[in-house]
Structure 1
Amino acid sequence: MLTDKKIVCRDCNQEFVFTVGEQEFYKEKGFENDPVRCPDCRRAKKAQSGNRR
């Protein structure tokens, strides 16, 4: 049974919650690892890498 997980962001060291819904989404997409960045840092990283193209 899945439960919400508290994870510390690799980039900003802020704690964030990896919800059951997000875990189910990750599982559905075939992702095997939990996220290492909070949603804000994930968005920033994605925007940064999108600008390089």
Structure 2
Amino acid sequence: MTVDEVVEKVMLERTRVKEMMHPYEVANLFVMGCSHHSKHLNGGDMTREVG
């Protein structure tokens, strides 16, 4: 199995967005999640807006 097949068939199989996040996007979620703006986060999906 190639690396691309592992990503597509294993890592992204059950996700809504079929692409990996960039490191800066993970960092943005972490910073936001640790801020006072996260008091209403309840574990639901966090999706990014494409635009």
Please indicate, yes or no, whether the TM-score normalized by the shorter chain is above 0.5: no
Rg larger in structure? 2
Q: Between Structure 1 and Structure 2, which shows a larger proportion of strand residues?
A: 1
Does 1 or 2 have the higher relative contact order (CA < 8 Å, sep 6+)? Answer: 1
TM-score bracket, shorter-length normalisation: 0.3 to 0.5
